[in-house]
């Protein structure tokens, strides 16, 4: 992969893409709409990698994410233009967006991946986790504990990587899938949600195979 760092700092990190130099129009402010529509000559997806800070890390690197995407059918990931591996904020652990988000518009289809604490302990907050969260964490064998009124999830590195592949990366990619949006603007939120769940279920074997390929 040709790596071209546009800017290096604790704020922005390294940004990799198709441009041979940074242009004034490549405004790399830490905002979603700072990303620009790719040119026909850009190799997609374009990766942007923030330095996660000493207390955080990205469970998947650029090459691992790229390989995972290549294992999906073209119709499932072909519209993804950018993958942004973001720096953690002070609220990332308790943010409902963790560990990934998706957004599209203006010719940009973005997948954002958030980092994991180096301690492998995720703070969930004071409210009791809802049943769907409990089922999801139980699926990966994650231990939940409540101490001093705060719920925390205790992960292992293999658990985190499996979770990121399927429930972070693939979940975010599903948002951009033509299958999920096949009914266009008339589509109901509930119908989209059901198709995303179906998409993820059908890609579960793929994510497990990717994990075996990368980490076994």
Neighbours of 211 (CB within 10 A): 18
- Residue 210: exposure state from Cβ atoms within 10 A (0-12, 13-18, ≥19): buried
The predicted structure's pLDDT at residue 149: 92
Cα–Cα distance measured from residue 139 to residue 203, given in angstroms and rounded to the nearest whole number: 16
First to last CA, the chain: 23
Task: Flag the least confident range among 65-74, 77-86, 193-202.
Answer: 193-202
* Torsion angle (degrees, nearest 10) of CA 140, 145, 146, 150: -60
Quick: pLDDT tens for 4-46.
343 333 333 443 443 333 333 333 334 455 688 888 899 899 9
Q: CA 30: distance to chain centroid?
A: 16
Q: How do beta strands 108-113 and 100-105 pair?
A: antiparallel
DSSP state at residue 100: E
Sign (positive/negative) of CA torsion 90, 92, 93, 95? positive
Q: Would you say the pTM of this structure is higher than 0.95? A: no
Q: Closest by alpha carbon to 213, among 177, 169, 165?
A: 165
CA distance 71 to 210: 8
pLDDT, one tens digit per residue, over 70-110 is 999 887 776 899 999 998 766 555 444 568 888 888 888 89
């Amino acid at each position: 992969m040709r790596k071209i760092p546009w800017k290096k700092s604790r704020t922005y990190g390294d940004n990799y893409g198709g441009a041979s130099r940074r242009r004034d129009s490549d405004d790399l402010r830490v905002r979603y709409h700072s990303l620009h529509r790719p040119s026909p000559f850009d190799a997609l997806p374009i990766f942007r990698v923030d330095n996660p800070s000493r207390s955080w890390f990205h469970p998947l690197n650029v090459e691992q994410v790229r390989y995972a995407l290549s294992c999906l059918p073209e119709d499932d990931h072909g519209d993804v233009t950018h993958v942004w591996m973001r720096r953690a904020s002070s609220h990332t652990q308790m943010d409902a967006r963790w560990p990934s988000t998706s957004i599209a518009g203006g010719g940009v289809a973005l997948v954002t991946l958030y980092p994991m604490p180096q301690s492998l302990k995720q703070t969930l907050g004071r409210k009791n986790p809802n049943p769907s969260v409990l089922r999801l964490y139980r699926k990966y064998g994650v231990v939940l504990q409540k101490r001093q009124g705060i719920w925390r999830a205790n992960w292992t590195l293999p658990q985190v990587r499996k979770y990121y592949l399927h429930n972070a990366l693939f979940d975010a990619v599903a948002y951009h899938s033509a299958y999920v949006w096949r009914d266009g603007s008339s589509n109901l939120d509930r119908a989209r949600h059901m198709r995303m769940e179906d998409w993820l279920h059908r890609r579960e074997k793929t994510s497990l195979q990717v994990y075996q390929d990368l980490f076994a």
